[in-house]
């Protein structure tokens, strides 16, 4: 169970979408939903390619769903065997998390009582990123003939399509292909399928292609004997951004792979996945459910990360479809990136550099709104231009679009990116990130806020006005505590990065300053940075107002507010939403700030704010629960932390997240929730925080977790940490190249560069406070040019 | 017709409210709707007292509707004669504008065929402000007996009541009374009725009081003879804010007036009204409809102005009921005040000083929102605290309250008041206004904006953010052109007033500066004033954006937008209103600014903006049309100016203004529209602008207006101006005490202090531009201590 996710029984209507999300396979280049081979657009089959977007007319721009090469349909004596319409004796579908293989087994009973069983295994090859590889078997309880139709279904699910034009189906030397061009930018795409039939006792009749405008199928009849019949499919996907001739490329990739044994293809794929798990698997003893949920969360993050490029990132719904426009939000930087930074720094680097490659889009957006610098897209796609529309939700009462301010006012996005760059740098020490684009990103983000900020002459402070913070139910507020803190932090990071570069890379620094004309802006930032208003109180234990006037809003309970609903999916935010005029918030906002800037706030403040906001949070976003888990753990509220950890870790396992907002479908996977699960476990329950050259460890293990073992990479050094209720053990996986130390219960101990060290501790009950600070040092002191081991995949 | 407004025929349901508004009588202390004697709460009878407000629980605070002393019901042989239910042979209702007398005549036919005619005349005495005086006659076409019930009906119409508690009906020496106390502040009120029966041939039987908890009636039977039967009623209203014992006071006032002949009471009232008309009547030859509409407009302004006090002002719906909470809006200062300033400067002064007397309320509101200075109430009542609620409209789709930002964000209100003070001062030269409260008002308004304003360091300018301008369909906008201009003007006025006082009233100045701790704020204002961002372009003919980003809104036509309505009274503004995301505006905003600061903008700019905004204005407010009339006249678009003049002048004559917004009843009279009519006629079509010691006259008379004669008071000097299509004639009504000049077609001529002067002019076709400027001089040069004649009533 700990490595396997299974679903059994004929899927009910709601199950189809849920399983499609949950059992997704992907290699970060192509994603294939966990649907069944005989499914079509009605069951939301989807093959999503990373970084390929298209727009039709005024509709939303969204990922292209490629023709479905995974299609197989079995027939028996004129009867099509389909899990939704045939008599099903037994059905199961599962996902092998360890090797990223989807498996399926179904036994049908035909009208004449014949029991026919089909089995399939499929994976999106991590070794050959264009390929979906499938093994398909059919057997029966008596000798019979089976009709098999396999091929490429071109009539695919689209939310705002159709995105493909000039669809053409072809057959060449046994390889079926469907090619097309995208609507907006005429990018060529092609999907090809090769079938490898067994040499054996089965007789195969009449193999031939059936080509329609959009689809290419091959049909053949098989005489089944006792062992059944097994064949393999290779589906290759190619598109014009990555190669010159997608049709030829996809055919060639098919042909090449068809010459390789399926088990070999699977082995090379599985080996890479096992290597990934070496870097990140967390073993929890005593809690199989948590073990499964956490692995499931990491699986999804690993599956969809675009390991092959620094020009794509992870969309908010991963590779599970066209939902949320396939767009990259702050989800990646704030909720997913920590997992990668601590386990796969090079992948984290890729994700960050995507923001450098889309910097021009952010500059265009800033200019569009009359600002300088980089105002990153709220919904970023390939170019960095904002895919977010001004009307993102439809009113359920009038069916009119609702004006939302996600695009215009969630200005914290640029600061989120700056925060992520800085986190990456302080955790890895990788200063090359600044040279290779990071500094330019940071400077332009800071410049944006310099243009956005206002000075209040009466209060003698700088303010950030008219923004939407993380809590999207309250749009266009002033001095959102989270945003103001993030902006001040961006200014601080800007000044630190400038200082580092000036000291260590003078030539680059001078060139960049000149290229960006940044000298006077930098001086202004230095002057303004310490004067950005923070609505924090100097008195510990004070509840921080989420924004100006928050406490004047109606102080209603969440159940009361929910009781006012007139429609099950009515939107709570916007100009007329139920929550808008109340203190009920969509998701962690102040509490997220407390978790991101944990070291700046005393326990009393965390406690007061957690208590206040927890009861006022709807958790209408998958980004919400992990912040409450993290702060709960720090406060010693282990039960709460565990509950919120499990909530975020099971978000796609249980599949109970919102499917609709207003009339908008927002289903799909929740990678930010997955990243939140990792943070809740590692930062929260395990209490592990890497701070420069020190690992602070303050475990808050649930009572039933007898032992936790996990690898973590700090400053390029991989450590294996084992926690029990009595001791912390740290083992360098490879000999340490830098002197790291460990802080347990506030005492700092240097690590032995090669040997395991154990630190006993007394199961710690109270709230954590300032323990991280014990080993915090100015980043400048960690040196700038350290060379790092890079243990993760290339 | 020119002095009389008539309505004939049995009122249809819609007519009842319309006539109630249109035929209102009032003396500025009590207002009595133009309903019929037999009407009750269902027909919206109302006796509104100036300045008396009450609040019940969480409902809206609104004026108190007093027990209705105007009630009379006639019966015949057990049949009640009621215009809505009886057989009506003939019915008319009219208003004598000249003497402010309501008249009514109805002939009923009873079931036995008897024709009974009732006649009444009533007026709210301008000589005795507590009194409603009525003459009531009944006659029949054959000898018969009539039952008459007259008295005080205590069961009155309330929107957010009931406001009266402890209602008690009494009779004392033939005087009926109903007394009560208000709910919120326990203010005593009393209404008493005396009836004066004729000595004559009619026999009167069984006169006796019928007292219930809330009402006091007397019933008697009259034997009708040939001449019919006439009696008189005196109704006296008194309340605890004006006297110690309202019950005794009202009885005494009744008794006193009952001893005076009705014709004498009417004569003293009518004389005062004729005196008023001397000061303001405008005679238009060639256009009886315009003549009537303009007189009607002035009648309503005169009727409702609280001439007796400087502690009340004119509510947005006048004295016509509890609509709009009986609150005073900017309507008074911007749209009504010019009429009073040019015809009744002392009344204008009263209206302004109301703002001084409510300054503490404005200070409280500023503090409530975290600002210093005076943030005047959007809806002001007796204390100056804001009666405006945060949820002012109800959504027709969900029946939920809509969050509106009238209260929080229409910050221009304080600037409107400052503008009005300055206009008054420059037109009258009455510097005493500063000493008696005006300066304090101005300084505190300026201080509010000093606290409200932000500095944009990137653009190096001061901005006014997050406001709602006159166009309420676009809430929470930045740099609303109107508001920014008004704020800058407030700063300028503040600096000028400070300079004037420093020069001429040093002691007072020093005391005020110290009392208000205003020295450093004044210095800051001097520094900021010239740097308040104005979205005007330096290029003449450029369309001024109403606010930041206005031009990015959907550019839809008004008919198209109206076609999107799903409900006849759905609200167009608020978070989800149809107009919110479009360029369709509720009312003049930029164009209002152009009319208020006419001398600052070239003709090309006025023309371009008039054209652009005219087609995008819904005129959803009665404040809108006059601005378009004024600028149209300046542009030589006489037809447009006339059309908009007539629209505003007939608003309550035609009674076609909106009655509902969302589910809110907003009917009633429209005194701002009445004031707009006067401005459209005098400033617009007649082209008269007093500027310091000069009267600029640039007529734009409609072709069918052969001659216009009007009085006007400029710098305390009353002039009678006659316009034809060939000449302008100016006659000082009393010998001039100050040297005034007249500018016609840009040529300035000194006026003869005693004799009529005629200036021929060539019917002027083009657009007016800069003509006013010809005689504009700095106000300081007109002197500070000039003594003025005060021709209007005391």
- Angle at which helices A625-634 and A638-649 pack, to 10 degrees? 150
pLDDT at A792: 34
Tokens encoding B339: 């009429």
| Of the partner residues A456, A524, A574, the one whose CB lies closest to the CB of residue B454 | A456
Contact A476 B478 (CB under 8 A): no
B101 vs A782, which has greater pLDDT? B101
pLDDT at B372: 98
Q: What does the alpha-carbon distance between residue B208 and residue B614 come to, in Å, rounded to a whole number?
A: 62
Residue recorded with tokens 């199989």: A288
pLDDT at B793: 40
The dihedrals phi and psi of A529, each to the nearest 5 degrees, come to -45, -50
Residue recorded with tokens 């509709």: A59
- Say if CB A387 and CB A360 are below 8 A apart: no
- Say if CB B344 and CB B718 are below 8 A apart: no
Q: Is the pLDDT of residue B150 over 90?
A: yes
Instruction: List the catalytic residue out of B440, B472, B570, B768.
Output: B472
Q: What is the pLDDT of residues B194-210, one digit of tens each?
A: 999 998 777 777 777 88
Confidence tier at B162 by pLDDT (50, 70, 90): very high
Cβ count within 10 A of residue A759: 15
Beta pairing partners, B182: B164
- Say if CB B688 and CB B419 are below 8 A apart: no
Question: B637 to each of B448, B642, B687, how far by Cα in Å?
Answer: 39, 9, 13
Mean pLDDT of the region B30-34: 97
Which of A446, A457, A462, A582 to substitute to test the interface with B, most B CBs within 10 Å?
A457
Q: What does the alpha-carbon distance between residue A668 and residue A19 come to, in Å, rounded to a whole number?
A: 10
Coil/strand/helix, residue A286? coil
List of chain A residues whose C-beta atoms are within 8 Å of the C-beta of residue B566: 398
Contact B455 A453 (CB under 8 A): no
Report cis status (omega within 30 of 0) of the bond before B475.
no
Sequence-ordered list of residues with C-beta below 8 angstroms from that of B586, at least 6 positions apart, any chain? B470, B471, B472, B473, B572, B573, B579, B617, B618, B619, B620, B621, B624
| Of the partner residues B397, B458, B465, the one whose CB lies closest to the CB of residue A450 | B458
Cβ count within 10 A of residue A488: 22
Tell me the shortest Cα–Cα distance from A477 to chain B, in angstroms.
10
- Angle at which helices B345-357 and B412-428 pack, to 10 degrees? 150
Sequence-ordered list of residues with C-beta below 8 angstroms from that of A96, at least 6 positions apart, any chain? A3, A4, A102, A103
Tokens encoding A178: 């469907």
Contact A372 B402 (CB under 8 A): no
Contact B372 A458 (CB under 8 A): yes
Confidence tier at B278 by pLDDT (50, 70, 90): very high
Question: A141 to each of A74, A116, A205, A570, how far by Cα in Å?
Answer: 16, 7, 21, 52
- Say if CB A608 and CB A541 are below 8 A apart: yes
Residue-level length of chain A = 794
Tokens encoding A674: 């997955």
Sequence-ordered list of residues with C-beta below 8 angstroms from that of B186, at least 6 positions apart, any chain? none
Coil/strand/helix, residue B75? strand
List of chain A residues whose C-beta atoms are within 8 Å of the C-beta of residue B372: 458
Confidence tier at B764 by pLDDT (50, 70, 90): low
| Of the partner residues B453, B548, B576, the one whose CB lies closest to the CB of residue A576 | B576
Mean pLDDT of the region B20-30: 97
pLDDT at A655: 82
- The stretches of A475-624 forming alpha helices (DSSP H) are 481-504, 506-516, 519-528, 558-563, 590-596, 603-614
- The DSSP symbol for A434 reads I
CA angle, A381 as apex, A380 and A386 as ends, to 5°? 45
Question: B436 to each of B359, B421, B431, B442, how far by Cα in Å?
Answer: 13, 12, 9, 12
List of chain B residues whose C-beta atoms are within 8 Å of the C-beta of residue A575: 403, 574-576, 580
Contact A397 B400 (CB under 8 A): no
List of chain B residues whose C-beta atoms are within 8 Å of the C-beta of residue A455: 454-457
Q: What is the pLDDT of residues B560-595, one digit of tens each?
A: 999 999 999 899 999 999 999 999 999 999 999 999
pLDDT at A766: 52
Which of A375, A398, A463 to substitute to test the interface with B, most B CBs within 10 Å?
A398
| Segment among B218-227, B369-378, B414-423 with least mean pLDDT | B218-227
Which of A576, A577, A580, A582 to substitute to test the interface with B, most B CBs within 10 Å?
A576
Q: What does the alpha-carbon distance between residue A449 and residue B693 come to, in Å, rounded to a whole number?
A: 52
| Segment among A225-229, A626-630, B147-151, B213-217 with least mean pLDDT | A225-229
Contact B576 A457 (CB under 8 A): no
Q: What does the alpha-carbon distance between residue B210 and residue B149 come to, in Å, rounded to a whole number?
A: 10
- Provide residues of B within 8 Å CB-CB of chain A: 370-372, 390-391, 395, 397-398, 400, 402-403, 450-451, 453-458, 463, 465-466, 476, 478, 524, 528, 548, 566, 574-576, 580-581
Beta pairing partners, B463: B454
Q: Could you tell me where the beta strands, DSSP code E, fall in A317-470?
A: 391-394, 401-403, 454-456, 461-463
Find the helix or strand (DSSP H, E) in which A625 lies: helix A625-634
Beta pairing partners, B179: B168, B190
List of chain A residues whose C-beta atoms are within 8 Å of the C-beta of residue B395: 576
| Segment among A749-753, B360-364, B407-411, B620-624 with least mean pLDDT | B620-624
Report cis status (omega within 30 of 0) of the bond before B28.
no
Give the A:B interface size as CB pairs under 8 Å.
78
Contact A458 B466 (CB under 8 A): no
Which of B400, B401, B457 to substitute to test the interface with A, most A CBs within 10 Å?
B457
Tell me the shortest Cα–Cα distance from A159 to chain B, in angstroms.
25
List of chain A residues whose C-beta atoms are within 8 Å of the C-beta of residue B575: 403, 574-576, 580
| Interface ipTM | 0.90
Q: What does the alpha-carbon distance between residue B22 and residue B38 come to, in Å, rounded to a whole number?
A: 18
Q: What does the alpha-carbon distance between residue B306 and residue A509 come to, in Å, rounded to a whole number?
A: 72
Confidence tier at B663 by pLDDT (50, 70, 90): low
Sequence-ordered list of residues with C-beta below 8 angstroms from that of B12, at least 6 positions apart, any chain? none
List of chain B residues whose C-beta atoms are within 8 Å of the C-beta of residue A391: 581
Nearest Cα residue in chain A from B371: A458
Order of all β-strands in the sheet with A79-81: A79-81, A68-76, A144-153, A216-224, A203-211
Sequence-ordered list of residues with C-beta below 8 angstroms from that of A617, at least 6 positions apart, any chain? A558, A584, A585, A586, A587, A588, A591, A624, A628
pLDDT at A659: 75
pLDDT at A537: 84
For chain A of 794 residues, list the mean pLDDT of each consecutive stretch of 10. Answer: 90 91 97 97 95 94 97 96 97 98 98 97 98 97 95 93 95 96 96 92 78 92 90 97 96 97 98 97 97 98 96 96 96 98 98 98 98 98 96 92 96 98 97 98 98 97 98 97 98 98 97 98 98 93 97 97 95 94 97 96 97 95 93 96 97 82 79 97 97 93 97 96 96 92 89 93 57 39 37 36
- Say if CB B212 and CB B236 are below 8 A apart: no
| Segment among A336-345, B179-188, B764-773 with least mean pLDDT | B764-773
| Of the partner residues B400, B402, B455, the one whose CB lies closest to the CB of residue A457 | B455
Active site residues of A: 472
- Say if CB A712 and CB A695 are below 8 A apart: yes
The pTM is what? 0.92
Tell me the shortest Cα–Cα distance from A790 to chain B, in angstroms.
43
Using only the alpha carbons of chain B, give its radius of gyration: 27
pLDDT at B659: 75
Instruction: Please indicate whether residue B472 is annotated as part of the active site.
Output: yes
pLDDT at A369: 96
List of chain A residues whose C-beta atoms are within 8 Å of the C-beta of residue B527: none
| Of the partner residues A451, A457, A581, the one whose CB lies closest to the CB of residue B453 | A457
Contact A453 B453 (CB under 8 A): no
- Provide residues of A within 8 Å CB-CB of chain B: 370-372, 390-391, 395, 397-398, 400, 402-403, 450-451, 453-458, 463, 465-466, 476, 478, 524, 528, 548, 566, 574-576, 580-581
Contact B457 A397 (CB under 8 A): no
Q: Could you tell me where the beta strands, DSSP code E, fall in A83-211?
A: 87-96, 101-109, 115-124, 131-140, 144-153, 164-172, 175-182, 188-196, 203-211
Sequence-ordered list of residues with C-beta below 8 angstroms from that of B379, at least 6 positions apart, any chain? B324, B325, B327, B328, B329, B386, B387, B388, B406, B407
Residue recorded with tokens 């990103």: A441
| Of the partner residues A370, A400, A566, the one whose CB lies closest to the CB of residue B398 | A566
List of chain B residues whose C-beta atoms are within 8 Å of the C-beta of residue A524: 457
Q: Is B668 left (phi over 0), alpha (psi -120 to 50) or beta?
A: left
Burial class (CB in 10 A: 0-12, 13-18, 19+), A491: buried
List of chain A residues whose C-beta atoms are within 8 Å of the C-beta of residue B476: 476
């Amino acid at each position: 169970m700990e490595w396997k996710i299974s679903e059994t029984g004929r899927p009910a209507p709601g199950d189809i979408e849920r399983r499609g999300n949950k059992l997704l396979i992907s290699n970060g280049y192509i994603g294939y939903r966990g649907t069944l081979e005989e499914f079509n657009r009605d069951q939301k089959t989807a093959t999503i390619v990373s970084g390929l977007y298209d727009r039709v007319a005024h509709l939303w721009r969204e990922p292209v769903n490629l023709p479905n090469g995974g299609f197989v349909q079995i027939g028996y004596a004129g009867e099509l065997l389909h899990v939704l319409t045939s008599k099903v004796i037994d059905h199961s579908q599962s996902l092998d998390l360890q090797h990223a293989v989807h498996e399926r087994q179904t036994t049908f009973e035909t009208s004449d009582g014949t029991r026919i069983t089909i089995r399939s295994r499929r994976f999106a090859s991590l070794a050959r990123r264009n390929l979906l590889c499938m093994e398909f078997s059919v057997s029966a309880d008596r000798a019979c003939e089976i009709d098999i139709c396999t091929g490429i279904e071109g009539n695919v699910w689209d939310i705002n399509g159709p995105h493909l034009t000039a669809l053409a189906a072809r057959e060449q030397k046994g390889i079926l292909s469907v090619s097309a061009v995208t609507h907006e930018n005429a990018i060529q795409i092609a999907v090809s399928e090769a079938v490898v039939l067994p040499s054996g006792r089965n007789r195969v009749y009449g193999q031939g292609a059936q080509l329609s405008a959009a689809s290419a199928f091959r049909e053949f009849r098989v005489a089944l004997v006792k062992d059944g019949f097994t064949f393999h499919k290779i589906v290759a996907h190619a598109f014009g951004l990555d190669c010159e001739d997608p049709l030829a490329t996809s055919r060639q990739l098919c042909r090449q792979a068809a010459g390789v044994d399926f088990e070999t293809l699977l082995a090379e794929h599985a080996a890479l996945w096992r290597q990934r798990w070496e870097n990140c698997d967390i073993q929890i003893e005593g809690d199989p459910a948590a073990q499964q949920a956490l692995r499931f969360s990491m699986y999804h993050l690993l599956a969809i990360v675009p390991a092959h490029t620094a020009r794509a990132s992870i969309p908010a719904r991963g590779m599970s479809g066209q939902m949320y426009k396939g767009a990259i939000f702050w989800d990646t930087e704030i909720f997913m990136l920590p997992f990668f930074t601590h386990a796969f720094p090079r992948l984290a680097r890729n994700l960050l550099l995507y923001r450098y490659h889309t910097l021009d889009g952010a500059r265009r957006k800033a200019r569009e709104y009359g600002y300088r610098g980089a105002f990153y897209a709220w919904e970023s796609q390939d170019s960095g231009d904002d895919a977010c529309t001004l009307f993102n939700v439809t009113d359920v009462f009038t069916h009119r679009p609702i004006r939302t301010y996600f695009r215009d006012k969630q200005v914290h996005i640029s600061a989120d990116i700056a925060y992520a760059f800085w986190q990456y740098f302080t955790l890895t020490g990788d200063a090359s990130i600044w040279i290779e684009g990071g500094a330019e990103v940071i400077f332009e983000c800071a410049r944006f806020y310099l243009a956005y900020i206002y000075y209040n002459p009466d209060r003698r402070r700088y303010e950030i006005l008219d923004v939407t913070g993380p809590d999207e139910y309250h749009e266009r507020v002033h001095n959102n505590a989270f945003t103001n803190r993030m902006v001040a932090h961006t200014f601080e990071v800007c000044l630190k990065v400038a200082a580092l570069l000036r000291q260590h890379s003078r030539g680059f620094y001078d060139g960049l300053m000149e290229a960006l004309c940044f000298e006077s802006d930098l001086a202004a930032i230095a002057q303004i940075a310490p004067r950005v208003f923070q609505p924090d109180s100097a008195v510990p234990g004070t509840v921080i107002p989420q924004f100006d006037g928050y406490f004047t809003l109606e102080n209603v309970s969440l159940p009361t507010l929910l009781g006012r609903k007139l429609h099950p999916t009515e939107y709570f935010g916007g100009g007329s939403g139920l929550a808008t005029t109340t203190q009920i918030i969509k998701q962690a906002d102040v509490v997220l700030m407390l978790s991101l800037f944990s070291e700046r706030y005393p326990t009393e403040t965390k406690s007061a704010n957690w208590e206040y906001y927890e009861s006022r949070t709807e958790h209408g976003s998958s980004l919400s629960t992990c912040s409450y888990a993290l702060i709960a753990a720090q406060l010693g509220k282990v039960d709460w932390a565990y509950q919120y950890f499990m909530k975020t870790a099971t978000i796609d396992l249980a599949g109970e997240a919102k499917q609709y907002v207003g009339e908008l479908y927002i289903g799909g996977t929740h990678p930010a929730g997955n990243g939140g699960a990792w943070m809740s476990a590692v930062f929260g329950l395990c209490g592990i925080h890497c701070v420069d050259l020190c690992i602070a460890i303050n475990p808050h293990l649930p009572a039933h977790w007898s032992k936790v073992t996990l690898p973590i990479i700090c400053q390029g050094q991989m450590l294996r940490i084992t926690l029990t209720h009595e001791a912390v053990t740290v083992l360098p996986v490879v000999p340490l190249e830098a002197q790291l130390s460990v802080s347990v219960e506030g005492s700092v101990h240097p690590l032995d560069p090669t040997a395991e060290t154990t630190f006993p501790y007394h199961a710690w009950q109270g709230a954590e406070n300032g323990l991280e600070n014990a080993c915090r040092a100015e980043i400048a002191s960690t040196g700038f040019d350290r060379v790092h081991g890079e243990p993760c995949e290339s």
